[in-house]
């Protein structure tokens, strides 16, 4: 009898532990599997607005732009994007490191909350290539 109660209870605890909430680079929370490396960052010698425009073009080209915004809780200029690419949720954070250098962080999660490292790297690379042109 104890085994019949313990197994479902242990399964429920495991599911609650594995599927939780993670912080996104846009400052929100999303349901996903925690403890997975799901983001890639890069730095570019370009102003924030130029990098933000490139990131916006890349998301629109590959999928759909869902939301864009500005985080006012930080001291640096921080712009964020949210989108959908290949049934994946995508978040991009564009942050000024100094007036000449801008940091870009791309985060991608699957529908089930898993990571998609290949798409994350691909989107970050496309943003870099947009800045070269």
Along the chain (133 residues), what's the average pLDDT of each consecutive run of 10 residues? 65 54 65 70 92 94 90 78 92 90 90 84 93 82
pLDDT on residue 92: 94
Q: What residue ranges do the domains of the chain occupy? A: 2-132
Which residues lie closer than 8 Å to 90 by C-beta, 6 or more apart? 59, 63, 81, 82, 83, 84, 106, 107, 108, 119, 123
Q: Architecture of 2-132 per CATH? A: 2-Layer Sandwich (3.30)
Q: Is the pTM of this model over 0.85?
A: no
């Amino acid at each position: 009898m104890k085994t019949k109660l313990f197994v479902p209870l242990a399964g429920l605890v495991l599911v609650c532990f594995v599927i939780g909430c993670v912080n996104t680079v846009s400052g929100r929370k999303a349901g996903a599997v925690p403890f997975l490396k799901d983001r890639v960052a890069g730095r570019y010698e370009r102003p924030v607005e130029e990098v933000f425009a490139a990131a916006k073009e890349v998301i629109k080209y590959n999928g759909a732009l869902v939301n864009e915004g500005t985080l006012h809780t930080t001291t640096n200029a921080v712009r964020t994007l949210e989108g959908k690419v290949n049934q994946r949720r995508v978040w991009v954070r564009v942050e000024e490191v100094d007036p000449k250098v801008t940091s870009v962080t791309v985060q991608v999660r699957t529908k089930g909350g898993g990571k998609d490292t290949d798409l994350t790297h691909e989107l970050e690379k496309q943003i870099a290539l947009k800045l070269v042109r």
